Amino acid sequence: MLRIHHCDEPIVITGIGMITSVGRTREEVWTAICRGQSGARLATGVPYIPDGLLVAAQVDLDDPVPGQLKVIPLAEHAAAEALADANIAWNEVDYDRFGCAISGHMGDTGHLNVRLEIPDRPDDGVRWWRQWMPNTACSRVANRYGLHGPRLCHSTACASGMIDILGAIRAIQDDQCDIALAGSAEAIHPLFAAGFHNMKVLAYDEDPQRACRPFDATRSGFIMGEGGAMLVIERLSHALDRGARIYAEFVSGKLLADAHHVTGIDMTSEPLVRLITDTLQAGNVAPDEIGYINAHGTGTLQNDVAETRAIRRSMGRAADNLCVSSTKSALGHLVNAAGSVELAITVLAMRDGFVPPTLNLTQPDPECDLDCVPQIGRAVKLDFAMKLSVAFGGHLGAIILRRWNDSQTGFGDAGLRVA
């Protein structure tokens, strides 16, 4: 059958699913974020790491399957909510045109325990060889729903969630599918925790909820987090034909590399400046049209300064009127899932006209001189917003979204918190 190429047709978001330390549904998470709640606590139950040694924002699962990687049910949970939110009529789905892009994760390292003769799980638990590949969660979710469209799975550190969403968008633009489920999930893995600890990038505090302090002069790093977010994205005509409700439109997205160091950031901020500038130009969006940037905002000394410098230089005078915040102080750093969870939060901020706060920002660093929305969120009507990802390995990503203002096919102004 001859198909018309739809590369220039708008791509829209029609479903969101989310689970984090502060809520088990999209709206629970968003409400907690708006209220300034934090999921940070002393971690328990992380293999080989003594309870109370690590500050983290963990998710407690109901009836976990013995031996199963925690990331798998987190991904399945977020996917189920996103698909339900998008109101998919499964009897009308073209499964060959439905894609799935879910980021990679740390595979099961149980084989190491076998070799070292370390007991790791009950004998009747899930075997390591069934979940050792980093695309296990992606395959499990796609197989569960019988999705035969393009299946993508990137492992690009903290930018993984964003890159898989961009990959799904590109698959739709290239006419490989009409609709896709895209996102990522993350659970704390002891090897990651040990590595971050040895790098001295993990934050500690007598009060766990104050440990992560992005853009603050006293910041000392990030805390690890768990959770996931999935988005249903589709071609506009496909969404309208099935009567879907639309959250936002994808305007533009770009990827670049910081060819500097595996973990260090180029403090000249040149790559980030170019990334932001190119993303604005690709979307034909002026700097003063962006009302909010959800920053990567890890709370490390390098990241927060580099991001601030890049935003200042690329946005010009518009930076003075811009809201920038980081939700990692509330949710922790979700690593592979950071991009998708924080993009979902950005979409909800646009829907409700409410910028989420940066918790624990009480002594702003003079070098981080943007309006980082300290402590308390703010009602601001947003038509355009940007999400930034800055990842180990030099992966840089940016996405610009436009709020869907049509009351017939979207939310209109009904959800706005703006007076």
356-406 pLDDT, tens digit per residue, is 999 999 999 999 999 999 999 999 999 999 999 997 667 899 999 999 999
Q: Does the pLDDT value for residue 192 go beyond 50?
A: yes
Tokens of 52: 């109370």
- Report the range of poorest mean pLDDT among 107-121, 202-216, 365-379: 107-121
Lowest mean pLDDT among 3-12, 157-166, 190-199: 3-12
The tally of CA atoms less than 13 A away on the side-chain side of residue 87 is: 9
In eight-state DSSP terms, residue 76 is: H
Q: In 10 A of CB 57, how many CB atoms? A: 29
pTM: 0.93
Element (H, E) at 56: strand 55-57
* 158 given a catalytic annotation: yes
Q: What is the pLDDT of residues 243-293, one digit of tens each?
A: 999 999 999 999 988 766 555 666 667 889 999 999 999 999 999 999 999
| pLDDT for the residue numbered 7 | 66
Phi, psi of 277 (to 5 degrees): -65, -45
- CA dist., res. 275 & res. 54, Å (int): 34
Answer positive or negative: Cα dihedral of 177, 179, 183, 185: negative
pLDDT of residue 52: 85
Q: What is the pLDDT of residue 2?
A: 36
Pairwise CA distance, residues 193 & 224, whole Å: 8
CA 275 vs CA 208, 269, 311, 372, 387: distances in Å: 34, 10, 10, 20, 12
Residue 120 CA: distances (Å) to CA of 117, 123, 135:
9, 9, 22
- CA-CA distance, 200 to 198, in Å (whole number)? 5
pLDDT score of 66: 77
- Per residue in 13-57, pLDDT tens? 999 999 999 999 999 999 999 999 999 999 998 877 888 889 999
- Describe the crossing of helices 338-352 and 160-173 by its angle, rounded to 10 degrees: 70
Q: In sequence order, which residues have a C-beta less than 8 Å from that of residue 268 and are 6 or more positions away? A: none
pLDDT of 419 reads: 40
| pLDDT band at residue 139 using 50, 70 and 90 as cut-offs | confident
Reply yes or no on whether the pLDDT at 119 is more than 60. Answer: no
Task: Judge whether 22 and 38 are in contact, CB under 8 Å.
Answer: yes
Q: Which pLDDT score is estimated for 381?
A: 95
Q: 295-318: per-residue pLDDT in tens? A: 999 999 888 999 999 999 999 999
Percent of the chain with pLDDT strictly greater than 90: 72
Average pLDDT, rounded, for the chain: 89
CB 77 within 8 A of CB 227: no
Cα separation of 99 and 82, whole Å? 14
Please identify which of the residues 105, 154, 189, 333 carries the catalytic annotation.
333
* 333 is annotated as an active-site residue: yes
Whether the per-residue pLDDT at 4 is higher than 50: the answer is no
| Residue 124 pLDDT exceeds 80 | no
115 versus 340: the higher-pLDDT residue is: 340
Region of residue 36 (left: phi > 0; alpha: psi -120 to 50; beta: else): left
Tokens of 73: 């049910």
Instruction: Give alpha helix (H) positions in 44-189.
Output: 71-85, 110-116, 136-145, 160-173
Catalytic residue among 100, 138, 153, 158: 158
Which pLDDT does position 3 carry in this prediction?
A: 40
Residue-range domains of the chain with CATH: 11-241 (3.40.47.10), 253-403 (3.40.47.10)
Per-residue pLDDT, averaged over 316-345, amounts to 96
Which of 296, 368, 372, 395 is flagged as catalytic? Answer: 296
Bin 336: left if φ > 0, else alpha if -120 < ψ < 50, else beta. Answer: alpha
Residue 225 has pLDDT above 70, yes or no: yes
Residue 7 designated active-site: no
CB 221 within 8 A of CB 202: yes
Measured between alpha carbons, how far is 27 from 4 in angstroms, rounded to an integer? 37
